[in-house]
Amino acid sequence: MTGTTTFAKDAVARLAQRHGIDAKFAAHQADINKMVADALANGGSRAASSEAGMVRGVHYLQLVEPIKQLKRDGRMEDALVLCYAAIQGAEAARQGREPAPWYTEQAAIIRRKLGQRDDEIAVLRRWLAICPPDRREGSRIKQRLEKLA
């Protein structure tokens, strides 16, 4: 994932300026950026948790809207790059809990659309492998994987 930082930061900036991205998106993204910056600046356990969620200078929470927009634009491969960066950040910041599942779900959806069944299964299994056993049952990730088996 070489260049993920630049790609992610550029994607956020471009998406805020593109046609179809309104002030609401820009304001929401600015709120997320501020939340991450404040957490990092204030130190303590919150800063450590936020820092753990960073991948090449971008926090995984900052990638939700860019992933959504890239999918809307039909740029599935680019969206996958951001999904996997976010998955890495969510896994690192989980502190013994389950990683945020949305990014894994999105990667699986994209893999399905691209006809990459084995990769879809692999990303779902990745989440289940790192998820505490008591959080696996009933999860949408496990349900999705069971439908593929």
CATH number for the domain that contains residue 130? 1.25.40
pTM of this structure? 0.78
Q: How many domains does the chain have?
A: 1
Half-sphere exposure of 109 (CA within 13 A, CB side): 15
Residue in 99, 56, 63 with CA at minimum distance from that of residue 78:
63
Residue in 89, 70, 76 with CA at minimum distance from that of residue 12:
70
Residue in 113, 114, 111 with CA at minimum distance from that of residue 122:
111
Mean pLDDT of the chain: 84
Phi, psi of 54, rounded to the nearest 5 degrees: -85, 140
Domain containing residue 144 = 4-148
With beta carbons less than 8 A apart as the criterion, state whether 140 and 105 touch. yes
Structure tokens at 61: 């929470």
- d(C-alpha 90, C-alpha 102), whole Å: 10
Would the pLDDT of 43 be above 50?
yes
The pLDDT tens digits of the residues spanning 78-132 come to 999 999 999 999 999 988 889 999 999 999 999 999 999 999 999 999 999 999 9
For range 32-40, the mean pLDDT: 79
The pLDDT tens digits of the residues spanning 68-93 come to 999 999 999 999 999 999 999 999 99
